[in-house]
């Protein structure tokens, strides 16, 4: 939890391979850790992937 909170930016590579429930779970975790109800706990999130693969 300390590492997630200390990071200024979070990067998810191959977002197209990530199940939406796992992404939703990570979003809820970040909201809980930061005590902020904004998407991804108000933190910067960069996603990369090709949905056409």
**Position 53 pLDDT exceeds 80:** no
CA triple 51-53-23, angle to 5 deg: 40
**Position 8 pLDDT exceeds 80:** yes
The pLDDT value recorded for residue 11 is: 96
pTM for the model stands at: 0.83
Question: Are 35 and 1 spatial neighbours (Cβ–Cβ below 8 Å)?
Answer: no
Helices (H), 1-53: 2-6, 20-34
Read off the pLDDT of each residue in 22-38 and give the average, rounded to a whole number. 97
Q: What are 42's two structure tokens?
A: 């108000």
Identify the three-state secondary structure at position 44: strand
pLDDT digits (tens, 9 = 90+) for 11-27: 999 999 999 999 999 99
The dihedral of CA 35, 39, 45, 51: what is its sign?
Answer: positive
């Amino acid at each position: 939890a300390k590492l997630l909170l200390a990071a200024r930016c979070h990067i998810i590579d191959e977002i197209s391979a990530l199940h939406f429930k796992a992404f939703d779970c990570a979003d809820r975790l970040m909201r809980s850790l930061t005590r902020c109800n904004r998407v991804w706990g108000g933190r910067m999130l960069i996603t990369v992937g090709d949905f056409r693969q």
